[in-house]
């Protein structure tokens, strides 16, 4: 009996591991697929940072396909520890900027020759062209709070600890507290061991965002990409999340991809992107005073908010 039990038990463990592995593998393949397009240069070096770096997009041209340019010479500077927000209509290329910084793709277009690649601009972190850095070290330095956080079919503890798997229980707990999700977790009948995700407890948009914030707090990256949610949360929840995001961004070099404008008011600079070109830039009050694109978008959103 015991002879039969052991292999079965082993199989059960294996099955659980494979299933877990598949969830993670799905994600890994997703990354690998994209990574095929981007390789470490033979001379690539590790990025080492002892403070928040400055990040620069210098004359960046880009297209996912050879036939269609998406960015046409974008210049953007995020000074060390500051926040720059990118706004603009749907399809303007805002999220593309974030994907390039994380190096899912390289600047330029598929099939570019050396001359075209050289003319396609560059992205630097603390003065290093990101193509000269190892992808692993670059990605270690960047935290992303996405629009819609994907949860693993695993415990809420696993989902938060994912930000830094070797974190202590105290650190995980502290991150949850800072992201204002600790009380919620402690109220669950199974607490930290509650399974979430598709096959577990479904979390609301705001709760998922808090998990993402807690993960990122644990990772503690010097560079942050905030891809603001398009779907509005209820306004009390939204204000709370925004306050947490602002705290998260403090002292980190932050790129905010803003789909709504309420989050960008305090940004060091707001960049208005349209059709892959920067059409306006400045601080909130300056842009309002200019009475241009941003002022128009702001007026529209204000009337939407008041009307809705």
Q: Which residues bind ligand ATP (CB under 6 A)?
A: 64-65, 70, 88, 90-96, 259
Residue 280 CB, nearest distance to ligand ATP (Å)? Answer: 15
Judged by CB, which is closer to ligand ATP: 64, or 184? 64
Nearest residue to 117 (alpha-carbon basis) of 127, 126, 108: 108
Beta-bridged to residue 125, according to DSSP, are 55, 128
Judged by CB, which is closer to ligand ATP: 49, or 69? 69
Residue 80 CB, nearest distance to ligand ATP (Å)? Answer: 25
Please state, as a whole number, how many other Cβ atoms lie within 10 Å of the Cβ of residue 132: 14
- Residue 254: helix, strand or coil by DSSP? strand
> Are 221 and 140 within 8 A, CB to CB?
yes
Beta-bridged to residue 280, according to DSSP, are 272
Judged by CB, which is closer to ligand ATP: 49, or 279? 279
Judged by CB, which is closer to ligand ATP: 3, or 231? 231
Q: What is the DSSP string of 20-58?
A: HHHHHHHHHHHHHHHHTT----TT-B----SSPPPEEEE
| Cross-sheet strand order for the sheet of 55-62 | 71-78, 55-62, 122-125, 128-129
Long-range CB contacts (within 8 A, 24+) of 128-133: 128/45, 128/47, 130/101, 130/103, 131/41, 131/103, 131/106, 132/41, 132/43, 132/44, 132/45, 133/44, 133/45, 133/46, 133/47
Residue 42 CB, nearest distance to ligand ATP (Å)? Answer: 27
């Amino acid at each position: 009996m015991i002879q039969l039990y052991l292999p079965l038990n082993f199989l059960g463990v294996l099955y659980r591991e494979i299933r877990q592995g598949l969830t993670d593998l799905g994600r890994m393949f997703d990354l690998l697929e994209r990574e095929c397009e981007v390789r470490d240069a033979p001379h690539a070096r590790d990025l080492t940072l002892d403070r928040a770096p400055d990040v620069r997009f210098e004359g960046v041209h880009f297209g996912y396909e050879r036939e269609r340019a998406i960015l046409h010479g974008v210049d953007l500077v995020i000074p060390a520890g500051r926040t720059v927000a990118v706004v603009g209509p749907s399809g303007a290329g805002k999220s593309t900027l974030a994907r390039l910084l994380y190096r899912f793709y390289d600047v330029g277009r598929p099939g570019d020759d050396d001359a075209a690649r050289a003319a396609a601009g560059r992205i630097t972190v603390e003065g290093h062209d990101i193509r000269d850095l190892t992808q692993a070290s670059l990605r270690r330095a960047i935290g992303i709070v996405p629009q819609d956080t994907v949860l693993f079919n695993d415990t809420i503890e696993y989902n938060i600890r994912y930000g830094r798997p070797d974190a202590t229980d105290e650190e995980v707990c502290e991150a949850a507290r800072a992201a204002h999700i600790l009380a919620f977790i402690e109220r669950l009948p199974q607490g930290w061991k509650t399974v979430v995700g598709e096959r577990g407890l479904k979390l609301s948009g705001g709760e998922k965002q808090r998990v993402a914030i807690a993960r990122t707090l644990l990772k503690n990256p010097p560079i942050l990409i905030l891809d603001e949610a398009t779907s509005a949360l209820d306004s009390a929840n939204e204000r709370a999340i925004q306050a947490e995001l602002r705290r998260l961004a403090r002292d980190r070099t932050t790129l905010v991809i803003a789909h709504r404008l309420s989050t960008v008011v305090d940004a060091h600079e707001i960049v208005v992107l349209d059709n892959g070109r920067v059409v306006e830039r400045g601080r909130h009050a300056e842009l309002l005073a200019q009475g241009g694109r941003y002022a128009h978008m702001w007026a529209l959103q204000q009337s939407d908010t008041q009307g809705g």
